[in-house]
Chain A
Amino acid sequence: MATAKDLGASNTVDNTVVGPSILISGRLTGDEDLTVRGRVEGELTLSRTLIVEPSGVVKANVAVRNAIVSGVVVGNINATESVELTREGRMVGDIRAPRVIIVDGASFRGRVDMGDVEPGRLPAERPVVARPTTTTRPTIRPGATPPRPPVPPARPAPTPPPAPRAAPAPTVVSRPVGKPLPPPPPPAPVAPRLPEPRPAATEQAGGANAPTPMLMGAGAKKKVVVKKKTR
């Protein structure tokens, strides 16, 4: 952009503009952006971007880094980065560039060569990876990450109740408790099914009442499972 600086001192304009009534015929080369609103004929070589505006007409072989065509181009474009034909762009000639963009409404006749096609479909994998994490959320989705805190409270709240229930349950359910005693072993195996939550729940429950926790644990398990999902 040293050029821009140099220009800045003498003029307010940064880049090169070919006005609508201007005709340049011959060879044009440069290291800055070029905007064509008039006509350029011959040969055009830039190390930067060529912009052909709707009023612009380029009848030339063009070698640039980027080309944005909203006007008329007759000739071949060879771009090191990209060529874009906008809705108003009309072109006849061959395009050779790694990225070629032709939007609806553009008019083009010629060949396109994007070189070696490399389908870098990494994005597909990314979504998949994202999904796993998101998968847990589906239910939570509406809340997204931020909402999580609020949502978990709601569900966790239920779970906490279970704990209380567990406590009351022991007293109330104490009757059935008789059977609970045997169950204790199963709970242990069950614990593996529900990795962390259960242990905690069972432990807490166990802390309150060893026997009752078992039954509670079963109920808690389901609820706990929900917790994990939420988490």
Chain B
Amino acid sequence: MANTVIGSSIVIDGEISGDEDLVIQGTVKGKISLKESLFVEGSGVVEADIETQNVDIAGRVTGNIVASDKVELKTDCRVVGDIKAPRILIADGASFKGNVDMDMKER
């Protein structure tokens, strides 16, 4: 269960960190570091470097993503940046530009 939600009219310019799931429906610029899952919903806009366990993206993300478990790009998402994670899923319809790195050893 996601305890934290950033609503669609919210704009955060700075850094978010925490140990719980985070749902972003608004705009976040800066940096996000979590130990749980990050959900960027359809209305969500992230211009930040992301460091989490899981990332689930349906909105827009600009920035580098490092996940310890999985990154999933859903249909209609738009992602620009490098992704580094052991598991990376890109759904049909997703828009992505950047490097993908699934090398576990490097992590």
Contacts and interface: CB of A to CB of B under 8 A. Distances in A.
Q: Do A and B assemble together? A: yes
Interface of A: 3, 6-7, 9-11, 13-32, 34, 37-38, 42
Contacts of A20: 3, 20
A26 B31 CA distance: 10
Contacts of B19: 21
Contacts of B100: none
Contacts of B5: 11, 13, 15-17
Interface string B9-20: 111111111111
B15 A19 contact: no
Interface of B: 2-23, 25-26, 30, 41-43, 58
Contact of A32 (B7, B13, B15, B21): B7
Contacts, number: 101
Contact of A38 (B2, B8, B18, B26): B18
Contacts of B25: 6-7, 10-11
Interface of A is mostly: mixed
A17 B6 CA distance: 6
A29 B11 contact: yes
A10 B3 contact: no
A42 B9 contact: no
Contacts of B21: 19
Contact of B4 (A3, A9, A22, A42): A22
Given A13-B2, A26-B15, 16 more contacts: A11-B41, A13-B5, A14-B7, A16-B6, A17-B4, A19-B4, A19-B18, A19-B20, A22-B17, A22-B18, A24-B15, A24-B16, A28-B10, A34-B7, A37-B3, A38-B18
